[in-house]
Amino acid sequence: MRVQPWADVPTLECTLVDETGGITVVFLGRRKIAGIHPGARIRVEGVAGSHHEKLAMLNPDYTLLEA
């Protein structure tokens, strides 16, 4: 996880990993999200694309999962 501004907009970037690989999940306009922290389990839904030549998803819908 890291907070990385995009064009002066606070942006929270997280790497979501499962047995198939990883994806960068980007939340524009956010510095933190309650419940999302290293090791948290979440499910995301949205349109995947490329960001800095990596698989990424911008502002996805997300669900916090039980640990």
Band (pLDDT 50/70/90 cuts) for residue 56 is very high
pTM: 0.84
Residue 51 has a pLDDT of: 78
Residue 64 has a pLDDT of: 97
DSSP string, 31-61: S--TT--TT--EEEES-EEEETTEEEEES-E
Burial class (CB in 10 A: 0-12, 13-18, 19+), 14: buried
Residue-wise pLDDT tens digits, 7-45: 788 999 999 999 999 999 999 999 999 999 999 999 999
